[in-house]
Structures are given as C-alpha cells and as structure tokens.
Structure 1
Amino acid sequence: MNGLRRTSLCAAAVSAAVFSVVSPVNAAPSQIQSQPDSTQVNRPFERLIVGYKPGTAEASSDTAASDDARKKGKSVHRRTASGAVVVDLGAKTTNADSTIQAFKSDPKVAYVEPDLLMQPFADPNDTEYSRQWDLFEATAGMNVPGAWSSSTGTGVTVAVIDTGYVAHSDLASKVVAGYDFVSDSARARDNNGRDSNPADEGDWTARGECGTDANGQPVPAADQGSSWHGTHVAGTIAASTNNSKGIAGIAYDAKIQPLRVLAKCGGATSDIADAITWASGGTVSGVPANTNVAKVINMSLGGQSSCSTTYQNAINGAINRGTTVVVAAGNSNANVANFTPANCNGVITVAATGREGNKAFYSNFGTRIDIAAPGGETRRGTDTPGTITTPENGIWSTLNAGTTTPGAENYKPYQGTSMAAPHIAGLAALLVAKKPSLTPAQVKDLIKTNSRPLPGTCSGGCGAGLADATKAVNAVDTTPPPSGGLENTTDVAIPDRGTAVTSSITSTVTGNASSATKVGVDIVHTYRGDLVIDLIAPDGTAYRLKNSSSSDSAGNVVATYTVNASSEVAAGTWKLRVQDVYSGDTGYINSWNLTLQ
C-alpha cells in the first residue's frame, strides 16, 4: 500500500492538518509545521509577563527587575509565584511589539508574553433533582447516582478558580477558606487588591467598558449583568444533597474552595496562574499558605491563545503536587488547540454535550479534548442569541438574582463548557475520595477509559466519549494502579508516517515481571488505525500491543493491554514504542503506565 490508506481522508484528519500550524507551544517540533508566537494575540492587554533566566539578578531581585523595566520605559507591577515579573505597559493595547521585542532581545530574558484577560466560558442566560437530567438520564446523563454508594467526595477539597462565591444556603456548609487573587482593585470592585475574602462582587459591565476587540467592536457588545459564574460551577460540584431543597451536587460531601480571579472585564493570566499554584499547595509571595490544599482544580475559563509558559509552569507544579486540573474547552465551536488553558499539557480538557447526547452547538472540539460531559443547550443556536428557548435542557445549579451586586439566592439553568467541566471535577473528587493515592494521570485515565460512546454525534473530536461516573468509580476497585508509581505523563509527538517514537519508564521493581503485565495507554490521534504500538522490555524484547488497520478510522487509543512478560527482569528501562505507518493524521502519546507485578 506504500504507506497510504486506500480510504479517503476523513474530516477529522483534514481538520487536524489545517490546525497543525497552531498547535500548543509545548508540542514537540515534529508535531507542528510552524510554531505560533504566544505574543501574537487579538485581545486587549495592559501588562506583560516577563520571565528572567535562572542566575540573573532580575530573576531574584525586585530592584534589579524594576531597574531593567525602567530602562525599557516601563514599570514592574509585581512578581508572580513562579518568579516572573508582571510589567505595566501604561495603557491597554493589542500590540506592544516594540516593548515585547526589547525584552525578547535581552539575553537575560527567558520568555515574555501578554498578561491576557481570561473570560468565563459560560453562556449565561436568565431563569431542583428532577431537573438535573445531566446526572441521571439514561441517554446523555453522566450516570452519577450509581456512584454515590461508593463515594460522595468526603475528604476532598475542590478549588473553583472563577468569579468567587456569592452566599447560597445550598453551598454554605461546603465552602472552606479561599482567596481573592484579583490584583487590580478597580477591576475587583472591592477597593483593594488581593485579600482573603473571595466574595463575588459581581462582574457586570457596560457596553464597551472593557475596550474593543481586534475589529474595533466594543467589548462587551451590550450591557451585561453579573453572572455569579463561580457559584453556579460550585453547585454542580458539591451542592448540599438530601437536604430537601435545591439541587444535588456530584461530590456532595466534598468541600469547595472559592478562588476569585475573574472580575470586571475578566481575569489576568498571572492572577490565575498564582491561584493554580496556591490551590495546589504551592507558595505565592504575599499570600498566606493554603491550609486546605485542593486535590482537584476546576477552571471554567479561558481565552484564545497558545498555552503560555506561565500557565504551563503553574499547571506542571500543581500536577507534580498531586492535584488534578480540569479545564473547560471553550464555547467557540472551534478547535480547542487554539484556546488556553484548555490546550495546556496535563489538564483534563472537557467538551460539552446536550441532552440528546450530541456535541453542544457551541462546544470546542479537537484531538486535545479528553472527555465530554453534559453542558446543556438552553438556546438552539445563534438564531436566538438573547432568548432562552429550552431552559429544561440547561444545567441547573446554584445562583443569585442580583443583576449587579448580590440579591436573593436562586437556581437557574446555564449552558456552556463551563458547566461541563465541573461535572468532571466532581467525578475526579469522587475518585480521589475513594482512593486518595490516585495521581492526576490515574484520575484522567480512569475517567477516559471508563467513559461510554457519545450517544449522538461530534464532528471534530470529543475525546474518549461521555463520562460515566458509576463505571469510573467502580473501576477504582478493579483497576490496579501502576506498580511502584510506574507512569510517564510527558507528551511525545507522533510524526505522520514517520519514524517510531518512544516514551520510557525506568523500573526498580525486584524480580521478574508477571505473566499479566499491564500496559495502560492513552494516545491522542485522529486515525488510530495508523498506529503500531509495542512494549519494549529492558533487554530489547518487543511485545506487540496493537497492529495497524487501514479500516479503523476512530480516533485516540485509550486502552489497557495484558502482556506475558514473566521471563523479563522487571528492573530497567521499559519503553512504549509508537509508529504512524500511514499518511494524513497526527497525534501524540499523552501518557502511559506499567504494572509489572
């Protein structure tokens, strides 16, 4: 066949080829044709994030960093938890080429990027258990009730990095101390910068109050009331249950830690990154240590950009500290590869489905999607942008009736990937509560491997399928964890019809491997029939896990293989070897694990 499939190139493959030039900046060079510059954006920003190289005075001295910024005609706003500095530009802009170039040309600088304002990914509209089809309906619900006999989230804190928290009686007993990370007092509306009160002050805005977009149109395009977005997200995760009122939370015995990063006109990347660090137990200068470290983070927010170094560093730190990071894919009906932090490595990226089980009309898609979850559809599409046409098909949760500042508590339906992500954050909390030793990679694998096929359609890629809470929670008992923590979560790009690539795991396990050695594989790919997968033992013996098949047009490989490796000495370097033997599609090794005994 000369390495060419006889079948025609599928739509997903065409999409992947088109978007290959805008892959995340952390993708390996062989995965992309042209790496984007994270400083090229079309949204207003007023600050830069500048990272200095280790060993330079500016990397550790605030005085030196301030002097360096002053030489370039700018001033330092503050230093982030990662050590980078936030530099004021003095005005809002979509183009700071001269200043950016001045920093990029400085040999002391490791990276420079805009401090973009992220926006909530919900699509708010205006309004109990029977309404929560997303939890229990057979067609497209997430099969949550069956999981509650095994886990209810006890002992797990979930950080909701969002607009903060507005008081609600269905959440009051679930909330633990959080923090307000909004560093701009004017945007925060609380007349100060960062503080220990994460109360949602409201994110209402007047038309054009947040500047203009790249086309000169006012942002927002019309007056907008407060969304109380973080409170709606929190209710889906952990609202009180069996209390004769309101809604049921997925992990209803978990705790919610509200971290306020979104306020008027959105939230800054630097503030969000610091919130990720703090939530997961990292240190943030000027902020007291977190005494309720979160094992799960939910971020129903984002913007259009490649994954920045600032985000990736914060996410890497959180995952290394054992915190699972869940992110909404975005609501632009576009390839998620272009939206951050959903396109960052290591996170669980969540697409949204409607009540019929199809990809929601607004949801982003693509090979970077890990899983789909209910996000609702209260509007039928762009024909009725300001009208709630099907409120019964939305995601009902805790909210507030205030149009600007807080009013009476209530419940209303929203739609959006913002609503889908907390379903997965709640499921992650159920898994970690049942087995606290689970790593973020294992949590992701359990959710993906135990999903079920999407009941409807998804053009462009919706990950492993629709999450199934009961199946995933039950699998904690039946799926052994990697022996001795043998797993590799570093992405490795798979070149299209290219040479084989490998990902390694080094074992110190004594004795021989077993006759039922387990290999857990999570590979993102647009046409899995292209792939040949082998396990290579330390002595070079190859065990075939998967052959290629020109007729297998499905995407992604999420599977656990059993290998008779009883003759192999367990100690040494084991490799997962993957080769794409046909043309037209791309992908990467997301993670893999190994159970030797």
Structure 2
Amino acid sequence: MPPWRRGQRDHFPGVPAWGLATRRAAPEPFEISRLESVDKEWAYGGADGTGVRVCVLDTGVQADHPHVGGLEASYQVVADDNGKSSVAECEPHDPAGHGTACASVIRQVAPGASISSLRVLTDGKNGSGDALLTGLRWAIEAGFDVINMSLSTTKSDFRHTLQELADQAYFRRCLLVAAAHNMPVLSFPWTFSSVVSVASHDQADPMTYFYNPSPPAEFHARGVRVPVAWAGGKVVRSTGNSFAAPHIAGICALILSKHPWLTPFQLKTVLYLAADNTADTIAQNGEPDVL
C-alpha cells in the first residue's frame, strides 16, 4: 500500500505531532517523478490510463453503452429505515444519462482507465447533500485515484464538510476533478483550492485544454456541443461544464498512468505546464533563464 493510503505513523516521543524522528528512523524511501521539460509528450505520451481507477460521482452509468465500454463496479447511496445513508452495489443503470455522458468522455480520453460509477443524484439535477457527502467520503476511502464530480451545491451548510473531504482526498492522493457551476454563482466544491476545477472552452479537440490565470476555475476543456453517450444507447451533443470536467479527469488518468507517484499539487503543475496556452507561450518565448 502506498504511504498516502496508510494510517498515520505513531507519534515519536520528544518530537512534535506529525513529525519524524530522523535520528532514530530514516525517512521513508519513495519514488520521484521529475518535472523538468514537461510538455504533453512527457505528461502522457503513449499512456492510455491503464492502472488508474476513476470514480464517476453522478447519476449512475449505463455500463453496456458502447461508448462506455463497461465498468469496474457500480454503486449507489442508499438509506436505511432510520434514514442513515450508506453505499451499496447496484445494477449499472443511469435513468438520467448525465453520468453515462461523463463516463463516455473519460473513456474516450483514457480508454485503458478503470471506471466505476457511484450514483448520488437522481435525475441529473437533484440529490440530497447527505447523499453527496456519503458518496464522496466513501469514494475517497475506497482509494480511487481520480473522482469526477460534474456537480456542485450552492448550499453553504455543506461547505465545511465538503472542504474537509476535499482536503482528506488531497492528502490521500485522491484527485477530485470538479466542474464549475454553469451559472455565475458561488457553489462547491469546485471553488476549493484542493480540487482541480474545470470550465468549458468551445473548441472541438478533446485533448485541447487551457490554463486559466483567473481562478477559481483553473482549466478550460471541451464543453460546447460535446458528443456524449446518453441513456438508452443514444449519442447526443450537449453543452456544459459537466462535460469539460471529465476531459480533464481523463487527461489526469493518462498522466497518472505514466507517472503514478505524482502528488495532487505536482499533477496540477503538470496540467499547467502541458496546457496548450502555457506550452505555446514557452515555445514562443523559450525557457526562462534561471539566475
């Protein structure tokens, strides 16, 4: 098990909490992903997402849709007689189509990635805050590498707990990719710094994405008239930040497939350096001088 998925080391007497007594125990060895000369080829050239587990937190996914190509597993949030929520396995069904659409985008970008579905919404628009928190907490603890969240909530009551879960995911190297709201309103979790936040651009290439120097949306990916799988085996063209996020989730799966030891902040750096507008600027101006 990688160190970020294990429990915290026991406290060392005489050393402040979270510290390491390096005179008694050497720092744990780890692999290093070097970041010099990062471009698209370095970031994900030759990768297909193999070895990376992606969870689509959404309305469910129709596994037998030809543009989805099967799922590792399918889950949903359920409530017992006392109203307590938990996660249980379910049939790979999507009554709305939204989750299937997101999964199909990820599959197009990262065909080798393992995709699972976790249903927290009912009809593509509605779902309880409790279901969202229960599902997100479970997905983080289940050890997924990437969680696609093409959803958000404007309810500030959930902000604190969502922020805690986003931070927990960050330190477990579970990357949250969150779509910006389609309206100019404040919502969560895409506005958190510990997630990768995505809004749309209107170009047709699924692999073209841009760094946004004016956050909170950090990146722009294809999100206008995107051909996506839909319920009932259909393919439709749809527009929204919901469909921009899985493009970045897929690209992150490619990067992690090739560089599995990247941390979330390193992965954000790779995304930044390999973005089309960043790479073009470096190519035009040359590498900056190091003094």
Q: Do these two structures clear the TM 0.5 threshold for a shared fold by scoring above it?
A: yes
Q: TM-score, normalised by structure 1?
A: 0.36
The offset of 1:353, in angstroms, is 0.9
CA contact (8 A) 2:55 2:116 kept: yes
How far 1:397 sits from its partner (Å)? 1.9
Displacement after TM superposition at 1:431 (Å): 0.5
The 1:560–1:151 alpha-carbon spacing in structure 2 relative to 1, beyond 3 Å, is farther
Give a deviation string over 1:411-453, Cα, whole Å, max 9, x none.
1111100000000000000000001101111111111222123
Q: How far apart in 1 are the matches of 2:147 and 2:129? A: 16
Of 221, 227, 234, the residue aligned with 2:103 is 234
Q: Does 1:367 align with 2:215?
A: yes
- For residues 175 and 47 of structure 2, what CA distance do their matches in structure 1 show? 17
Aligned match of 2:10 = none
What residue in structure 2 maps to residue 340 of structure 1? Answer: 188
- The offset of 1:316, in angstroms, is 1.1
CA distance in 2, matches of 1:340, 1:442: 23
Where 2:203 maps in the other structure, the secondary structure is coil
Change (3 A) 1:356 1:432: closer
In structure 2, the partner of 1:440 is 264
Structure 1 Cα separation of the partners of residues 245 and 217 of structure 2: 12
CA pair 228-169 structure 1, distance change in 2 beyond 3 A: closer
Q: What's the RMSD between the two structures over aligned residues?
A: 3.3
SS in structure 1 at match of 2:176? strand
Q: Which residue of 1 aligns with 2:147?
A: 297
The SS at the match of 2:118 is: strand
8 A contact 1:151–1:430 mirrored in 2:
yes
Higher relative contact order (CA 8 A, sep 6+): 2
**SS of 1:232 mapped into structure 2:** helix
Q: Is the Cα–Cα contact under 8 Å of residues 375 and 420 in structure 1 kept in the other structure?
A: yes
Q: SS of the residue aligned with 2:276?
A: coil
Tell me the SS of whatever aligns to 1:303. Answer: coil
8 A Cα contact 1:350 1:372, kept in partner: yes
Matches within 5 A, 1:41-60: none
Using a 3 Å threshold, how does the CA distance of structure 1 residues 414 and 276 change in structure 2: closer, same or farther? same
Shift of 1:560: 8.5
Is 1:397 the counterpart of 2:247 in the alignment?
Answer: no
Return the match for 1:277 from 107, 121, 137.
137
Question: What amino acid is aligned across from residue 154 of structure 2 in structure 1?
Answer: Q
Offset of residue 199 of structure 1: 3.4
Identify which of 242, 253, 256 aligns with 2:115.
256
Structure 2 match to 1:426: 250
Q: Give the match's secondary structure for 1:258.
A: strand
1:273-307 Cα offsets, whole Å, 9 max, x none, are: 22222222x2xxxxxxx4xx310110000132457
CA distance in 2 between counterparts of 1:266 and 1:151 reads 36
| Equivalences, count | 236
In the alignment, the residues of structure 1 paired with residue 256 and residue 288 of structure 2 have an alpha-carbon distance, to the nearest angstrom, of: 21
How far residue 160 of structure 1 moved from its aligned partner, in angstroms, is 0.4
User: Is the Cα–Cα contact under 8 Å of residues 311 and 344 in structure 1 kept in the other structure?
Assistant: no
Helix, strand or coil at the partner of 2:239: strand
Q: Which residue of 2 aligns with 1:175?
A: 71
Against the structure 1 CA distance between its residues 183 and 562, is the aligned structure 2 distance closer, same or farther, given a 3 Å change threshold?
Answer: farther
Which stretches of structure 1, 4 residues or more, deviate above 3 A after TM superposition? 143-149, 171-174, 182-185, 198-201, 559-563
Judged with a 3 Å threshold, the aligned counterparts in structure 2 of structure 1 residues 442 and 149 are, in CA distance, closer, same or farther, namely: closer
CA 147–348 in structure 1, closer or farther in 2 if over 3 Å, else same: closer
Mapped to 1, the partners of 2:136 and 2:43 lie a distance apart of 28
Structure 2 Cα separation of the partners of residues 447 and 328 of structure 1:
16
1:451 to 275, 278, 283: 275
Q: Compared with structure 1, are the counterparts of its residues 375 and 173 closer, same or farther at alpha carbon in structure 2 (3 Å cutoff)?
A: closer
Q: Deviations 1:345-364 (Å, cap 9, x if unpaired)?
A: 3001101011389xxxxxxx
Q: Deviations over 1:141-166 (max 9, x none)?
A: xx999987520000001110000112
Identity percentage over the alignment? 29
The answer (yes or no) to whether the contact 2:43–2:274 under 8 Å persists in 1 is no
C-alpha separation in 2, matches of 1:262 and 1:144: 34
Richer in strand (by share): 1
Query: Counterpart of 2:137 in structure 1: which amino acid?
Result: T
Task: Tell me the secondary structure at the aligned position of residue 343 of structure 1.
Answer: coil
Asked if structure 2 preserves the Cα contact closer than 8 Å seen for 1:166 and 1:199, the reply is yes
**Distance (whole Å) between structure 2 residues aligned to residue 173 and residue 158 of structure 1:** 14
Q: Is the CA contact (8 Å cut-off) linking 1:270 and 1:310 kept in structure 2?
A: no
Aligned residue among 30, 49, 52 for 1:156:
52
Separation in structure 1 between the aligned mates of residue 238 and residue 261 of structure 2, nearest angstrom: 34
| Cα deviation, residue 313, structure 1 | 1.0
Alpha-carbon contact 1:328-1:421 (below 8 Å) kept: yes
Distance 1:415 1:441, change over 3 A: same
Q: 1:409 aligns with which of 225, 229, 233?
A: 233
- 2:114 maps to amino acid: K
State the SS of the aligned residue for 1:159.
strand
Distance 1:147 1:321 in 2: 21
Instruction: Answer yes or no: is the 8 Å Cα contact 1:168–1:398 preserved in 2.
Output: no
- Confirm or deny: 8 A CA contact 1:165 1:198 kept in the other structure: no
Q: Distance in 1 between matches of 2:201 and 2:234?
A: 24
Name which of 150, 161, 180 aligns with 1:329: 180
TM-score by structure 2 length?
0.71
User: Could you tell me how far apart the structure 2 residues matched to 1:232 and 1:194 are?
Assistant: 22
Q: Deviations over 1:541-594 (max 9, x none)?
A: xxxxxxxxxxxxxxxxxx98845xxxxxxxxxxxxxxxxxxxxxxxxxxxxxxx
Instruction: Pick the aligned partner of 2:128 from 268, 275, 292.
Output: 268
d(CA) in 2 for partners of 1:442 and 1:260? 29
**What 5-or-longer segments of structure 1 have no aligned partner?**
1-142, 186-191, 203-226, 239-248, 283-289, 358-364, 377-393, 401-407, 454-464, 472-558, 564-597
Deviations 1:299-325 (A, max 9, x none): 000132457111011111111111111
Aligned equivalents of 2:77, 2:66: Cα separation in 1: 25
Q: Secondary structure at the match of 2:220?
A: strand
